Copies of this chain bind each other. A is one copy, B any other.
Amino acid sequence: MVRKTKAEALATRNLLLDTAERLFFERGVSKTSLADIAKAAEMTRGAIYWHFKNKYDLLQAMMERVRLPPETLLEAPVENAPLQAMRDYAVKMLRDTATNPRRRRVLSIMMHRCEKNEDEAKALTVRQQAAFIDCTSHIRLCMTTAVKLELLPANLDTDKATTMYLALLFGLISNWLFLPDNFDLEADAEALTDAFFPMLHHSPSLLK
């Protein structure tokens, strides 16, 4: 019953990724063994070891499925409307987190069900840190562009503003994933995002 067609093999791979995503979300990464995943997918560990090098390779592939380049989300042209770009980015991230089950599960795994340590999973941590740094510099570019376009105060401390933006965005996502009943992320995504930008005009401590 082996040597399936290419499409079938890809389906198997996706099934393994789906199953791993579910189990990692339910039990956490370290408490989920490859045998657990194989059994839940009605396969054997042989299938996993054929498609993936090991557990962390599987985890990485699972995370790659929701990784989208920042440009994808930033549809509004940054050079013309950087404030709109930042707003759209935040709203889309929040709404997608609230409504897209896959993104919700994977983000939850990344934030609350996967340990950042120095050995095997270090590559994963480094990758996440790199993504975060990318995101940081992108937002910083939006901030400085907005200042140049005189959309924000000339003496705005763009570094602090960037820090605040990212803290708010990630804080909202992390807190909601931790306790989804605490507030309605989908309904409030726009209001919470829009609340941020007046701060850049009215907070003296963000000026240089």
Interface residues of A (CB under 8 A from B): 26-31, 112-121, 129, 132-133, 136, 157, 159-160, 163-164, 166-172, 174-175, 178-179, 182-183, 188, 190-192, 194-196, 198-199, 201-206
Shortest Cβ gap from A186 to chain B (Å): 13
The 7 A-B pairs with the shortest beta carbon distances in the complex, nearest first, are A171-B171, A167-B171, A28-B117, A28-B115, A30-B30, A194-B205, A195-B203
CA distance A136 to B164 in the complex (A): 20
- Chain B residues with Cβ under 8 A from A117's Cβ? 26-28, 31, 113
- SS class of chain A's interface: helix, strand, loop or mixed? helix
Given contacts A167-B171, A167-B175, A195-B164, contact A115 B118 (CB under 8 A): no
- Chain B residues with Cβ under 8 A from A129's Cβ? 178-179
Tallying the copies of this chain within the complex gives 2
B191 engages A195 (CB within 8 Å): no
CA distance A164 to B167 in the complex (A): 10
Given contacts A30-B115, A136-B182, A171-B169, contact A202 B205 (CB under 8 A): no
Shortest Cβ gap from A207 to chain B (Å): 10
B159 engages A163 (CB within 8 Å): no
CA distance A136 to B199 in the complex (A): 22
- Chain B residues with Cβ under 8 A from A175's Cβ? 132, 163, 166-167, 170
| A-B contacts, 5 listed (Cβ < 8 Å) | A29-B115, A113-B116, A160-B188, A174-B174, A191-B206
